[in-house]
Structure 1
Amino acid sequence: MLVFQLAIILLASKIAGDVSVRLGQPSVLGKLLIGIVLGPSVLGLVHDTEILEELSQIGVILLMFIAGLETDIDEFKRTGKASSFVGIGGIILPLLVGYGSGILLNLSSIESWFLGLLLSATSVSISVQALKEMNRLKSREGATILGAAVIDDVVVIIALAFLMSMAGGDVHLGAMILKKVIFFAGAILIGWKIVPFILKRFAPLRVTEAVISAALIICFMYAYLAEYAGVAAIIGAYIAGVAISVTSYKHEVFEKVETISYSIFVPVFFTSIGVSAQFSGIAENIGLIVSLSIVAILTKLVGASLGAKVSGFGWRSSLGIGAAMVSRGEVALIISAIGLESNLLSQDLFAVIVVVVLITTIVTPPMMKWLFTKQGQVKSNA
């Protein structure tokens, strides 16, 4: 059954991606939409199984690892201030408006803050693919978006720990913050001193693809340790990619990992997002879904764009950066699941949030395409 589903996913995602590009949109949009068609909601050819979910997780980890490999460290350093403004701007507005929305929905104060925090989350895995397709991943905007994603993840997770401790959950705020500090300090130190040593030690081994295997070991260990520390696994994978990007093995690792990733794992990740969509009960909550989707899109777009503008970007670039931060992706879904388990989200509101997250994910690539393409036209006409 799994091999059949993989064959269907790979065939459909490649064709859908090609059709999307021919229609002037990023290929990732077609891959997301075809997942909905293949899934239980439409054709029922592919089901959201545990194995498929694990393959999807590998796909998003490898996607962010590749983004790290392509990161220009000097550009990343130069955009530190801009990333901070974008990350914080993209948190404050969704947090406040989300809280207000919760109050209007007659949620308690703590539930309303949780909703605001949920809407503050971001996941740039989809945006990374759109940036790659537009050759903007290595640009100043691309570096700012990736830096802002790291800041967003750290701030939101720490705020979540604080909120859960207030809600009476079994969360030790000091311990959680300490774990994150230790992770980032250790990740940077290991990336600086130990990662190059490991690659050099593996390179002479008389086995096939020793360097690539070493790089993947580093990637997966970083992802695991990040998740263990309460940081998203994709952030750990991204940092691992950055660590390898400053070594002499960068190009060899990039070329072969990209081949492995885009042959099977990344298409599974994009398609599985659509496959996992559940549309039962949407009709009863369509008004709420539309309202929260508008709030989710506009607050992140405006908040992050204002942060980019304050840090010195032009309006078109600022809006493009804001659009890239709109997708909530797997980060918001994880937080939603925590809310459901802790009774901070009702079952009905959880189902609504899942659809809202899917909508933010689907609208992000075409928004980025339109804004960044327009920016390119303005530059070329100047």
Structure 2
Amino acid sequence: MDILLTLGLIILFTKIADSIAMKFGLPSVVGSLIVGILVGPSVFNIIQNNASIELLSHLGVILLMFIAGVESDLKILKKYFKPSLITGLLGVLIPFAVFFFASRSFNYSQDTSLFIGLIFGATSLSIAIQVLKELNFIQTKEGSIIIGSSILDDIIVVILLNLVLNLVNPNTTTADVLPFLFKNVLFFLFIYIFGKYILPIILKGLSYFIVPERDVAFSLIMVFLLSFLADWIGMSDIIGAFFAGILISQTPFAEYVERKVTSITSALFAPVFFVSIGLKLVLDGLGENMLLIIVFSVLAIFTKFIGGFLGGKIEKFDNNSCAIIGASLISRGEMALILIALGLEKGFIDQGMYASLVLVIIFTTVIAPILLKWAIALGDKSKAELDDPVHES
């Protein structure tokens, strides 16, 4: 099929499906994922994967990771750093460990099990934020910690991704590990020095350039150059994109750039990426993995919920607040899908596992906002009962 017709159909179908999903109170990404399954070879076979879709999909991943970095509000992190760090760590490490051992019990290799643990350590900040905005809950203490821990969650997962990719690389020997780690440390050191000392100088010089969309163009230059640098030294390019977003989040034009890049990404690149997930899906043989899908779905809910709940408890929050924090972390969304696609590309995940994991991610993406709304409503009900004079007597 001609690429122009393909893109037109992808955008048309995803926007219709996204609208339907949102009317049912579901995240829009669910609609795009379902479209990818329906139009792909598993169902109607209208669209086939090809090099052009792969390229646009990869750009979508890069830009989604960049946006995740830009959305990382370091002011929130500083204000609620301790509770956010504790919650973020527990929200990553508990699923990571549980899914590693669960995968090993299903006889998957150590490398595959590590990658599966990483996938389910991820959290979707965008889906939680949609619910928090809808219920006017962002400015609360719980809302701030949810945002802070989700941001740190992404950073922790990205760092773990880098370590896992280095350690499970078949060409990596024990003698190679230290040089790999040294290059990683140099990369992060470069990011720190660049952001603290070089970026302010560049921003001053940038003010002398009077060209259309100067700030967006500069941001995209940062994204692609840091993605290239990360890939060149043996890291995943999406790590470079994420930290490019972190750097841009510190600039005065961060909000403008985020709005502009999010606009084109949401309109074109993200739909292509999410549809490409479905295009790679092979539903044959899923019955053989039904036990795994059920077990992983249950674990996906409880491991994140427990991680968030315990994080709140350590900070001496009441049970309602802890439940809200725990429910907010359940959705895996975009980050997990990016990791699944990367796992398939790198050979850590086969087609059968790929389809099973995508279905589990879709399930958590659907169930998470429902559970979060329920937890917030339950908390509001408890507070109302405490304030009710009838209950005080």
TM-score when normalising by structure 1: 0.83
Could you tell me which residue of structure 2 aligns to residue 320 of structure 1? 327
2:150 is the alignment partner of 1:145: yes
The 1:191–1:205 alpha-carbon spacing in structure 2 relative to 1, beyond 3 Å, is same
Q: Percent identity?
A: 28
Cα deviation, residue 303, structure 1: 4.1
Could you tell me which residue of structure 2 aligns to residue 356 of structure 1? 356
2:185 is the alignment partner of 1:177: no
Q: Is the 8 A contact 1:86 1:306 kept in 2?
A: yes
Cα deviation, residue 67, structure 1: 3.1
Q: Is the 8 A contact 1:17 1:28 kept in 2?
A: yes
Match of 1:129 among 126, 129, 137: 126
Please list the CA deviations of residues 100-149 of structure 1 after superposition, one character each: whole Å capped at 9, or x if unmatched: 44554456xxx2x3343122213899824324533359843122112112
Within 1, Cα distance between the matches of 2:4 and 2:267?
Answer: 14
Unaligned runs of 5+ in 1: none
Could you tell me which residue of structure 1 aligns to residue 386 of structure 2? none
Within 1, Cα distance between the matches of 2:94 and 2:331?
Answer: 16
Q: What is the CA RMSD across the aligned residues, in angstroms? A: 3.2
150-159 or 371-380: bigger deviation:
371-380
Please list the CA deviations of residues 177-211 of structure 1 after superposition, one character each: whole Å capped at 9, or x if unmatched: 11221111111221223334334433433432222
- 1:212-223 correspondence runs (5 A): 212-223=216-227
Could you tell me which residue of structure 1 aligns to residue 28 of structure 2? 27
Within 2, Cα distance between the matches of 1:3 and 1:375?
Answer: 44
Greater CA radius of gyration, 1 or 2? 2
Letter in 1 for 2:369: K
2:57 is the alignment partner of 1:49: no
The 1:363–1:79 alpha-carbon spacing in structure 2 relative to 1, beyond 3 Å, is farther
The 1:42–1:98 alpha-carbon spacing in structure 2 relative to 1, beyond 3 Å, is same
Match of 2:116 among 112, 116, 119: 119
- 1:156-195 correspondence runs (5 A): 156-159=161-164, 161-162=166-167, 164=168, 169-170=172-173, 172-195=176-199
Q: What SS is found at the alignment partner of 2:42? A: coil
Please list the CA deviations of residues 201-235 of structure 1 after superposition, one character each: whole Å capped at 9, or x if unmatched: 33433432222111111122223333444544344
Within 2, Cα distance between the matches of 1:81 and 1:31?
Answer: 36
Please list the CA deviations of residues 349-370 of structure 1 after superposition, one character each: whole Å capped at 9, or x if unmatched: x233202320232123323312
TM-score when normalising by structure 2: 0.80
2:18 is the alignment partner of 1:17: yes
Q: What SS is found at the alignment partner of 1:67? A: helix
Please list the CA deviations of residues 10-60 of structure 1 after superposition, one character each: whole Å capped at 9, or x if unmatched: 111111111111111111211111111111111212222222122122223
Within 1, Cα distance between the matches of 2:300 and 2:112?
Answer: 11
Q: What SS is found at the alignment partner of 2:47? A: coil
Q: Is the 8 A contact 1:309 1:318 kept in 2?
A: no
- 1:1-12 correspondence runs (5 A): 1-12=2-13
Within 1, Cα distance between the matches of 2:309 and 2:224?
Answer: 33
Please list the CA deviations of residues 302-351 of structure 1 after superposition, one character each: whole Å capped at 9, or x if unmatched: 445534543556322332343035863232443455455xxxx7xxxx23
Within 2, Cα distance between the matches of 1:232 and 1:86?
Answer: 26
Q: Is the 8 A contact 1:308 1:321 kept in 2?
A: no
The 1:378–1:284 alpha-carbon spacing in structure 2 relative to 1, beyond 3 Å, is closer
Q: What SS is found at the alignment partner of 2:329? A: helix
- 1:279-290 correspondence runs (5 A): 279-290=283-294
